[in-house]
Amino acid sequence: MKNKYSIFSLIKNSFTYHENWQKAWRDPEPKSSYDVVIVGGGGHGLATAYYLAKEHNLKNIAVVEKGWIGGGNTGRNTTIIRSNYLWDASAALYDHAIKIWENLSQELNFNVMFSQRGVLNLAHNQHDVRELKRRTHANRLNGIDCEWLDTKQVKEFCPIINCSPNIRYPVMGSTLQKRAGTARHDAVAWGYARGADSMGVDIIQNCEVKGIKRKGNTIEGLETTKGFIKTSKIGVAAAGHSSVIANMAGLKLPLESKPLQALVSEPIKPIIDTVVMSNAVHAYLSQSDKGELVIGAGTDSYVSYTQKGTHEIIEGTLKAILELYPIFSRLRMLRQWGGVVDICPDASPIVSKSSIKGLYFNCGWGTGGFKATPGSGHLFAHTIAKDEPHALNAAFNINRFVSGDLVDEHGAAAVAH
């Protein structure tokens, strides 16, 4: 059992110079067999293991991760959380996640620093205005808080935005979701890892999957760099590498993996207390608690697993940032990095069974998976445990690419694909 984190444990451990904190999770060697093996120790995979143990009473679970937990896209995103998606199925999916986010720190006894500071989505032309007003109405019909701000209200809500009518793409209004915001990305992985570990889940790092063994149409186990692991159920939450795992089982997925970049500035004093996104000019930004501006850039157009993008993408994003916020013209950028995102043709995720019995996929979250982490794990756990989807992820099955029942969210996905 884990010791509870509290003000008292903080004081107690300060007497020993914080050198005797209990390990947040164990570092076990893999057992020879498990009931369920989750491939991918990011937020989605760890949350899945957590809910499998907590809500479905499964105890013999492993998470295998080829690197270290939270070292992939969980640690590389811009931490934005919102649920203002257009279609009913997506709105329900992402809002399910926000509802879990709202109590997540208490539930995990781990501060995920969820901050409901609001998210603006700016409109820069008549088409944007119409589309975003439509989305505002659609959100309200689905019970999601969303309001429309005109240019003057945008300036009042976030004074550093350049609202001059003379810029190339003037701000003509914005949507605002006040329940939206940010969270500490590492803490989400660590909190779920600690929670899952305390219920007996084995989190096995530096363990890369090399092959999937199947007998006919049934899963028998997986080959890893730490040996063969026998299991009848595999849940793949491998983000950009989902297709690589699928290919091992002889499947193809409707995914393309592309580099997506982000960057942070040198730290400055608090200047922006919300998140501002702009699809049309492709600039989005918020400020971390350390004071860095966190800036999301776009995807490159080609398939690549390099975890680095091209310079022109950053140049385009920074041009847009500087037009919207001339105040940042002399700010220096501190770090830049890339992640590999798996994008579906309809910009919606896949949380689904596959044509192979015992093989499940949670992928295709593309450029916006972080926001869904708790909801994604919760629904994927249900899908694996019951061998059928939860009502909230039924629409996000692989078969929609055969039936044609796509969930087209390119408009709300924010990063242009």
Catalog residues that contact another protein under the rule CB under 8 A. Answer: 241, 243-244, 247, 252-257, 301-306, 310-312, 342, 345, 401-404
Contacts of 391 (CB under 8 A, 6+ apart): none
Q: Quote the least distance from Cβ 243 to another protein, whole Å.
A: 4
Shorter beta-carbon distance to another protein: residue 212 or 277? 212
Distance CA 246, CA 362 (A): 11
Position of tokens 């860095």?
Answer: 292
Shorter beta-carbon distance to another protein: residue 188 or 415? 415
Q: Which residues pair with 215 in a beta bridge?
A: 218
Distance of CA 93 to the CA centre of its chain: 13
Best CA proximity match to 328, nearest among 295, 358, 363: 295
Strands of 312-396, DSSP E? 333-343, 350-353, 359-363
Q: Quote the least distance from Cβ 341 to another protein, whole Å.
A: 12
DSSP string for residues in 165-187: TTSSS---EEEEETT-EE--HHH
Q: Quote the least distance from Cβ 219 to another protein, whole Å.
A: 20
Q: Quote the least distance from Cβ 39 to another protein, whole Å.
A: 15
- The burial of 290, by beta-carbon neighbours within 10 Å (0-12 exposed, 13-18 middle, 19 or more buried), is given as exposed
Q: Quote the least distance from Cβ 401 to another protein, whole Å.
A: 4
Query: If residue 55 lies in a helix (H) or strand (E), which one and from where to where?
Result: helix 43-55
Q: Quote the least distance from Cβ 252 to another protein, whole Å.
A: 4
Shorter beta-carbon distance to another protein: residue 98 or 314? 314
Shorter beta-carbon distance to another protein: residue 66 or 371? 66
Shorter beta-carbon distance to another protein: residue 66 or 184? 66
Shorter beta-carbon distance to another protein: residue 184 or 241? 241
